[in-house]
Structure 1
């Protein structure tokens, strides 16, 4: 038997306790929803709880003759990127569709609905004509030359659109998916608004499908920030499935069935799910659709979708014989260096929903490495969530604001500078760099609920504003975590998206 000195024993005990710690998922859920208020652009409501923020971007779209005030900043900068913003709203809506009762039980349903509506209200403005979508405000190149609070912006606020001559199928289809998913969310509480969202979703899907083209070719300034590596076919399938969920119109179901092979939905075996590569989400949604009353051919194709969805889930569980998602020594899923936790949180929503589905239909997952029950999937989801909340080798919560330790130097312009409400003294472009970015002190404002990029492959994390690959947070990181936290916090039985 190996011998340990007393210090080693103490370290082993503390490590064991840290990794078995129980977290307050309800508190984390509340904080995750608060984060979206910090990312708001436009005129803030009187109910605004993040008091260090103030109105910003009030002239957005004016130069182009369109009202583009509102929406969200995607991360720590001041650009409104349409593709990740729409994806954020799709994920938030999926979270509410799947876990409405749990979110309501935590007293956060109204907050979640407000977060979704802040985005969809903006999309309505950004879609003034059936075949026109304003897809971006500001540009990353000029924005990244300055370090200014959003309230002080002096950088370009030029707006960029896609239309028939300059198509953008990715952003049109993702916005359609967001509005279709949100229409389900509001179908009972705001039926007129729900129908309006659905009308926009239908038009946007038709636009994206009929006038096909990569949005980063029509808007070249986005290439350095949100380029479309996977193309637009995954977004078209994704939008079709959400429209089918929202309308029960077989036209959209048949679209996903007929294009499953040629668009890669039933052929691509994927080991990530993100704002760009949506195949795993497409495959999971399709796999959870009911098969009653469907043709044999449709059932066959749905089975192919299911096979690919389960490949992804097995890859996350390390149950494939070939392709699996890497893991850090501490057990965290690891896809790539830049903002790795987006892939973790996005994937956890897929796994959580699919765990519910398997429980509902009383089936198991058959991976190459063995049979997996829904309980094992949910247990894995919990372990990854606990890692995020602090059960990790660094002892750091990567969800900002969750005690006892979290990143204090998040790469975020507004959080890193004195609050505009405390000091309305204008902060210039370069002044922000010298006075705030270069400071070693913690940010004066806590970006509560932000899920930062997280640790590297070896569980190492350096809390520095310059380490933006690890300390910058994005809206789509937190959006998917809302549903996961609601599930872990809620007492209600498992249920399937296919039966909602």
Structure 2
């Protein structure tokens, strides 16, 4: 046996206000394993327990003395939680987490570690470990100038989160659960099937209509999951953690159904043109609906890759509560990414019915990179880092984007990779994007960043969320946090009105949304409900409408689908940004 005693691999990061050190110490090493210690400096007192996640690039067996094994995935990812006697870690103490890895494993196979869901060690390029140690809560109490940042606003962000999740419940298709909280919604579209009779019930209606468009559904699921991962404390503090998990699972369960074989995935249920000729309740629809899928012969790389990203991100949401479901999600995510990358093609070419609604304008390169990045984060498997690098070169993903949307994931990819790797090249791309939207993008007279006229609030919510992510890794932290606060508060009422149904002052009452425009059953609902000047009879609580034009002009009209439509992708970035603001309030 070869012994290497007290060998240190040292990691350090100069933060804006202090120099932090972490160490991985190899206590001993032998032919098929090693004993190591993670030395973690505690920069904020921990009273309610901790979590340590260890990741390896090949299967291994782990023993640890100071923690209980909570769950594991593929014998590569291990989540440990505190024991009853060591839930408290004092301020400025050094926590030494010791473990033994065995089964043909070497220290070089140890690729990442997380403490309380924040990265403290990663090996993103070679056997040289690079670690950047953060405050274990993921929150730094000083801005770039050393002053504390206050985001205490006049709006109850917890209520906004609750309401937004109620909107998602109003958008559910299929057989509703017994705890359905939307009393004017019932079971719907129970005949949704694939070409061979596959069960395609469930999932979400896209907007005020009843088509299930898989591409934007996957996109909003990824963004919802990202917010739930980063801001779990905010969801827990507001009592919404279980509800956001349910919202995400309603989508991921549907994606699992739609992935009927390795290279077959149903990407749309319902004909958009037929659907848009119908104005009534989804519960009253009685006809079978067509379904379209992508295959090896008719590929759809954007669709498969975005769904893989959603499933990989969701696996991180569920990893601490349901390890079996997490493994299922990762299995489908890996297959769908392989499908997207191996059999390339635009999904809107393979599903032409989609082109009038969610045509792929930017191609599939951004989704391939985005998907690989989420699988890298979820699995620690370094071949996904290699793939990200390849996609960056092939598709020019280092360019500066000007939005983050269901169609273009480039900005999200850049910021996600900055968070995963902390590499300066990604950090610079993240900063370039946020500096553009914060400092240079057009603004309305009242200060709303105006990126596009259709769904203007959707676009600004998305970039507010992304720049909160950049702020979380200390890129212009105070400036970006202030920006996100200003933009979200504009939506909630600082503009002089609220743009969220059921919240605040003078909120929209006539959203472009069919089912909420219908009276209570059994009254007939038809196009007369669309034409009615009266408010929608049902309160679509939590829905974010499209928003004002470049001059802050808005009119609450049901027939204005540019300014008054609601969609599931509008609320995703908005809700995740609100969760971020609440997270920073909780941590102040």
Task: State the TM-score bracket (shorter-chain normalisation).
Answer: 0.7 to 0.9
User: d(CA) in 1 for partners of 2:169 and 2:268?
Assistant: 20
For residue 405 of structure 2, the aligned residue among 257, 262, 274 is 274
Aligned position for 1:497: none
State the Cα distance separating 1:154 from its structure 2 match.
Answer: 4.8
Cα displacement string for residues 68-107 of structure 1 (whole angstroms, at most 9, x for unaligned residues): 0000011110100000000111011001110011111111
Q: Contact (CA 8 Å) 1:138, 1:155: kept in 2 or not? A: no
Q: TM-score, normalised by structure 2?
A: 0.72
For residue 384 of structure 2, the aligned residue among 230, 246, 252 is 252
Against the structure 1 CA distance between its residues 248 and 176, is the aligned structure 2 distance closer, same or farther, given a 3 Å change threshold?
same
Q: Determine which structure has more spread, i.e. the larger CA radius of gyration.
A: 2
Q: Contact (CA 8 Å) 2:365, 2:391: kept in 1 or not? A: no
State the Cα distance separating 1:488 from its structure 2 match.
Answer: 1.8
Matches within 5 A, 1:406-445: 406-419=507-520, 423-424=521-522, 427=525, 432-434=526-528, 436-445=529-538
State the Cα distance separating 1:444 from its structure 2 match.
Answer: 0.2
User: d(CA) in 2 for partners of 1:483 and 1:416?
Assistant: 27
Aligned position for 1:396: 497
Is the counterpart of residue 314 in structure 1 residue 446 in structure 2?
no
Cα displacement string for residues 210-235 of structure 1 (whole angstroms, at most 9, x for unaligned residues): 00000000000100000000000000
Against the structure 1 CA distance between its residues 426 and 155, is the aligned structure 2 distance closer, same or farther, given a 3 Å change threshold?
farther
Q: Contact (CA 8 Å) 1:170, 1:208: kept in 2 or not? A: yes
User: d(CA) in 1 for partners of 2:342 and 2:435?
Assistant: 35
State the Cα distance separating 1:304 from its structure 2 match.
Answer: 3.3
State the Cα distance separating 1:305 from its structure 2 match.
Answer: 3.1
For residue 330 of structure 1, the aligned residue among 446, 449, 452 is 446
Q: Contact (CA 8 Å) 2:467, 2:484: kept in 1 or not? A: yes
Aligned position for 1:478: 571
For residue 376 of structure 1, the aligned residue among 479, 494, 497 is 479
Unmatched segments (≥5 aa) in structure 2: 1-151
State the Cα distance separating 1:426 from its structure 2 match.
Answer: 5.6
Aligned residues: 436
Aligned position for 1:95: 227
Cα displacement string for residues 131-183 of structure 1 (whole angstroms, at most 9, x for unaligned residues): 01000000111111121211112566100000100000000000000000000
State the Cα distance separating 1:404 from its structure 2 match.
Answer: 2.3
Look up the SS of the partner of 1:386 in the other structure: helix
Against the structure 1 CA distance between its residues 265 and 62, is the aligned structure 2 distance closer, same or farther, given a 3 Å change threshold?
closer
Cα displacement string for residues 203-259 of structure 1 (whole angstroms, at most 9, x for unaligned residues): 000000000000000000100000000000000000000000100000101111232
User: d(CA) in 2 for partners of 1:56 and 1:169?
Assistant: 30
Unmatched segments (≥5 aa) in structure 1: 1-19, 292-301, 319-323, 359-364, 366-372, 495-500
User: d(CA) in 2 for partners of 1:274 and 1:189?
Assistant: 30
Is the counterpart of residue 305 in structure 1 residue 437 in structure 2?
no
User: d(CA) in 1 for partners of 2:551 and 2:287?
Assistant: 38
Q: Contact (CA 8 Å) 1:64, 1:159: kept in 2 or not? A: no
Against the structure 1 CA distance between its residues 260 and 303, is the aligned structure 2 distance closer, same or farther, given a 3 Å change threshold?
farther
Look up the SS of the partner of 1:451 in the other structure: coil
Matches within 5 A, 1:199-214: 199-214=331-346
Look up the SS of the partner of 2:268 in the other structure: strand
CA RMSD of aligned residues (A): 1.5
For residue 24 of structure 1, the aligned residue among 156, 159, 164 is 156
Quick check: which one's helix share is greater? 1
User: d(CA) in 1 for partners of 2:202 and 2:328?
Assistant: 18
Aligned position for 1:35: 167
For residue 450 of structure 1, the aligned residue among 543, 548, 551 is 543
Look up the SS of the partner of 1:333 in the other structure: coil
Against the structure 1 CA distance between its residues 411 and 155, is the aligned structure 2 distance closer, same or farther, given a 3 Å change threshold?
farther
Is the counterpart of residue 72 in structure 1 residue 204 in structure 2?
yes
Q: Which has the higher contact order (CA 8 A, sep 6+)?
A: 1
Q: Contact (CA 8 Å) 2:465, 2:580: kept in 1 or not? A: no
User: d(CA) in 2 for partners of 1:58 and 1:396?
Assistant: 39
Quick check: which one's strand share is greater? 2
For residue 468 of structure 1, the aligned residue among 561, 583, 587 is 561
Is the counterpart of residue 115 in structure 1 residue 247 in structure 2?
yes
Q: TM-score, normalised by structure 1?
A: 0.85
Q: Contact (CA 8 Å) 2:458, 2:574: kept in 1 or not? A: no
Is the counterpart of residue 487 in structure 1 residue 588 in structure 2?
no
Aligned position for 1:386: 489
